[in-house]
């Protein structure tokens, strides 16, 4: 048994409120929890997250680490020309 009068009051059905509406219930030591973001409106979980490519950073990263993507298609187009130039130089 827990000691008397040292534990906070437990609310098994505490309401989680986001933008004025109850989004879920959970157990907590306060009866209401007010949050700004939860999984129902966060861009990562809703699928509306966008990657902003500032100054070509994403392309530069993809090229640096050789990951598949748009930059690989550009590199594949450039490679045949380089091979042809090398073949002509040897001949």
Is residue 15 pLDDT above 90, yes or no?
yes
CA quadruple 61, 56, 74, 51: dihedral sign: positive
Is residue 71 pLDDT above 50, yes or no?
no
Same domain, 45 and 62: no
Tell me if 16 sits within 8 A of 33, measured CB to CB: yes
Nearest to 71 by CA among 44, 49, 86, 53: 53
Structurally, how many domains does the chain consist of? 2
What does the pLDDT read at residue 41?
84
Classify 64 in phi/psi space as left (phi over 0), alpha (psi -120 to 50) or beta.
Answer: alpha
Same domain, 17 and 60: no
Is residue 12 pLDDT above 50, yes or no?
yes
Same domain, 63 and 89: yes
Neighbours of 69 (CB within 10 A): 14
What pLDDT, in 10s, does the model give residues 17-64?
Answer: 998 899 999 999 999 999 988 888 888 778 777 766 667 787 888 888
- Assign 17 to helix, strand or coil: strand
């Amino acid at each position: 048994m827990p000691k008397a009068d040292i534990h906070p009051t437990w609310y098994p059905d505490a309401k989680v409120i986001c933008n004025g509406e109850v989004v879920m219930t959970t157990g907590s030591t306060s009866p209401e929890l007010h949050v700004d973001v939860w999984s129902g409106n966060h861009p990562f979980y809703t699928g509306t997250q966008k990657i902003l490519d500032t100054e070509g950073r994403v392309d530069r990263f993809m090229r640096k680490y050789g990951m598949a993507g748009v930059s690989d298609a550009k590199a594949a187009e450039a490679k045949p020309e380089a091979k042809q130039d090398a073949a002509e130089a040897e001949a």
